[in-house]
Amino acid sequence: MRPVTGERELRGVAVYPDIVIGKAHLIDRSRVKILYQCFVNGEELDREVERFKEAVHTVEDQFVSLKRKMPDKVKDQSFILDSHLMILKDGMLYDSTVKTILKEKINAEWALKKSLEEIREVFEQIDDEYISNRISDVENVTERLLRTLSGDTGQSLGEIDQRVIIVAHDLSPADTTELNTARVMGFITDVGGKTSHTAIMAQALEIPAVVGLESATALVEDGDLLIVDGSSGVVVINPDDSAIIHYQEKKLQLQKYKSSIARTSHLPAETPDGCRVAITANIEFLEEVTAAKDYGGEGIGLYRTEFLYLRGKGFPEEEDLFDDYREVVEIMNPAPVTIRTLDLGGDKFASEIAISGESNPALGLRAIRFCLREPEIFKAQLRAILRASLYGKIQLMFPMISGLQELLDAKQILEQVKEELDRDNIEYDTNMEVGIMVEIPSAVAMAEVLARHVDFFSIGTNDLIQYALAIDRINEHVAYMYEPFHPAILRMIRQVVKAARDAGIEVALCGEMAGDPLCVSILLGNGIDRLSMNARSIPLIKKMVRTIPMKQAKADLKKIMALNTAKEVRAYILEGTKRMFPELEEKGYLLD
């Protein structure tokens, strides 16, 4: 029996700044009951091991299939499912469970439970909130295995087809990807923190959510009316009329704020003291071009071209590439489109490309290195880009340039392709600009030399942070160290901008930093010419640029550059941003 009647308020961790009011739908994600069984006979034990291995296979297939079906919005987060796949086969879980079954002569469920307890003990000794929170990933994987072993796979969240708010003890990231976002209005959970993958997933899917409520499943009943305020972390169970009116008003204010930003998104990003910054969009698919325009993008600053190669239908023909590039360029014309040549490898693989057996793919045959090794694949893409350049303004960009020789080699192939086109009387824009991503520390060191050979730089902070700080960007165990405010990164950005300024070329920045409200002032102060980001971030970043005077950004940057740790930099920036944009904190935009 529920101990309360009437309205009750719970507080948890706010995940995505929006408010929903709707009916609760309880999901039974309670832990599976585990029975202890002991065996004496070897055959029975072999069967237990086999049963465990089969469950691992089944769950593996489920994760692979969920990953394949992930909505585009959350494709960036597919590493979460990769990490689940890794956990499945991790020695501490897999080998140790098999060993325990055989050694202690017990059933697979009990052995698995023991493995989880051992892993939990290891995690508990880690004095870091982010890492210790990652135990929830191991728990999610174990839970799925236990359900599979017990034959109880529970309700599939993909089947929920009503306008409801999900209430669950925990939702794994895999559960979250399954949600029918067109129907499910939001979710709340007992467990979870702001860095949990479920929270990250909710943000990517733009679902209002509050996690870490501790007792939501105990206090909420199926069909209860709920208010979920994803901006403050408040959940109201069975609200009275005044609470409903209050939150409806708050939702209205939040929507008004969002649309007030959206309404001005077509205005240029010019600081109050008259400095103009170009704001462009990053896209991965042709379909995103319209959104880029709608959100006020002044061009495409990064077209990641891997998608057509990753569809798993063989390599795209030059003609398919040409059609795709031409359409993007025509839609954006006269605004510029920066097409980045193929960046396969690292965490992006095409099944047709055998870059196998690399123990360190991020440091392996990736991006331009791969293209220089496979000139025919590279040339087909360059031909398509050059041919499309007639239909608008294309800027060509090479990724992962580590030094001058690599750039010269890439440019030489580009020249060969131009000669071939000339020979075939095929026209292209002979003035097409050529630039590079600066995303490897050696390119930063060589920036002043490289700047003399290109028309523009685009700083790729996603990789620059990875390589400069030695933090694998897809390894969640070190994600807490992935720090854009590290003074080393700020120094590198400054060095690249200076090299570009001295050579008189444009410098853009297209990593995630560009769309982060906390980074705007630093990037402005550095004098970056163009910021390229996820289209959704454009309206807010433009508004911020229109509010921060360049003089102030420069003065702040000077103070920031005197700070020696990322923690100090972050605290300084957070304080300044809250002071200047109090509504951002209030409306839940500064979740960090």
Tell me the residue type at 374: E
Distance CA 436, CA 510 (A): 12
Residue of 84, 169, 371, 510 with catalytic role? 510
**304 is an interface residue for ligand PEP by CB under 6 A:** yes
Give 389's contacts (C-beta < 8 A, 6+ positions apart): 329, 428, 429, 432
**305 is an interface residue for ligand PEP by CB under 6 A:** no
475 binds, among ligand PEP, Mg ion, none (CB under 5 to 8 A by kind): none
Tell me the residue type at 8: R
Distance CA 376, CA 416 (A): 12
**212 is an interface residue for Mg ion by CB under 5 A:** no
Structure tokens at 70: 């992930």
253 binds, among Mg ion, ligand PEP, none (CB under 5 to 8 A by kind): none
**483 is an interface residue for ligand PEP by CB under 6 A:** no
**534 is an interface residue for ligand PEP by CB under 6 A:** no
Distance CA 306, CA 225 (A): 45
Residue corresponding to tokens 């030059």? 318
Alpha helices in 220-265 (DSSP H): 241-263
Four-residue CA torsion sign, 407, 412, 413, 419: positive
DSSP 170: -
Residue corresponding to tokens 């098999």? 98
CB 207 within 8 A of CB 117: no
Residue of 25, 84, 169, 197 with catalytic role? 197
DSSP 383-439: HHHHHHGGGSEEEEEESS--SHHHHHHHHHHHHHHHHHHHHTT----TT-EEEEEE-
Q: 439: annotated binding-site residue? A: yes
304 binds, among ligand PEP, Mg ion, none (CB under 5 to 8 A by kind): ligand PEP
Q: Which is nearer to Mg ion, 148 or 341 (CB)?
A: 341
Q: Which is nearer to ligand PEP, 170 or 463 (CB)?
A: 463
Question: Applying CB under 6 A, which part among 242-250, 454-462, 520-528, 564-572 lies near ligand PEP?
Answer: 454-462
Q: Which is nearer to ligand PEP, 224 or 343 (CB)?
A: 343
**369 is an interface residue for ligand PEP by CB under 6 A:** no
CB 370 within 8 A of CB 358: no
Q: 340: annotated binding-site residue? A: yes
511 binds, among Mg ion, ligand PEP, none (CB under 5 to 8 A by kind): ligand PEP
DSSP 73: G
Distance CA 467, CA 492 (A): 12
Q: Which is nearer to ligand PEP, 163 or 491 (CB)?
A: 491
**CA-CA distances (angstroms) from residue 327 to 333, 387, 430?**
10, 12, 20
Q: Among residues 460, 484, 527, 576, which is the contact residue for Mg ion, using CB under 5 A? A: 460
406 binds, among Mg ion, ligand PEP, none (CB under 5 to 8 A by kind): none
Question: Applying CB under 5 A, which part among 93-101, 390-398, 436-444, 570-578 lies near Mg ion?
Answer: 436-444
**461 is an interface residue for ligand PEP by CB under 6 A:** yes
Distance CA 148, CA 54 (A): 9
Quick check: is 57 catalytic?
no
**216 is an interface residue for ligand PEP by CB under 6 A:** no
Structure tokens at 101: 């079954």
CA dihedral 393→396→399→405, nearest 10 degrees, is: -150
Distance CA 302, CA 281 (A): 7
461 binds, among Mg ion, ligand PEP, none (CB under 5 to 8 A by kind): ligand PEP
Question: Applying CB under 6 A, which part among 292-300, 331-339, 425-433, 459-467 lies near ligand PEP?
Answer: 459-467
Q: Among residues 170, 324, 343, 406, which is the contact residue for ligand PEP, using CB under 6 A? A: 343
Q: Among residues 439, 472, 476, 483, which is the contact residue for ligand PEP, using CB under 6 A? A: 439
DSSP 315: P
Neighbouring CB atoms inside 10 A of 265's CB total: 20
Q: Which is nearer to ligand PEP, 12 or 511 (CB)?
A: 511
Q: Which is nearer to Mg ion, 80 or 400 (CB)?
A: 400
Size of the site for ligand PEP (CB under 6 A): 10
Quick check: is 510 catalytic?
yes
Select the residue whose beta carbon is closest to Mg ion and give its number. Answer: 463
**Helix and strand element counts for the chain (H, E):** 25, 17
**512 is an interface residue for Mg ion by CB under 5 A:** no
**78 is an interface residue for ligand PEP by CB under 6 A:** no
Q: Which is nearer to ligand PEP, 474 or 566 (CB)?
A: 474
Q: 462: annotated binding-site residue? A: yes
CB 429 within 8 A of CB 388: no
Q: 586: annotated binding-site residue? A: no
CA dihedral 319→324→326→327, nearest 10 degrees, is: 140
What residues line the site for ligand PEP (CB under 6 A)?
302, 304, 343, 439, 460-463, 510-511
What residues line the site for Mg ion (CB under 5 A)?
439, 460, 463
Write out the binding residues for Mg(2+): 439, 463
Write out the binding residues for phosphoenolpyruvate: 304, 340, 462-463, 473
Kindly list the catalytic residues: 197, 510
Write out the binding residues: 304, 340, 439, 462-463, 473
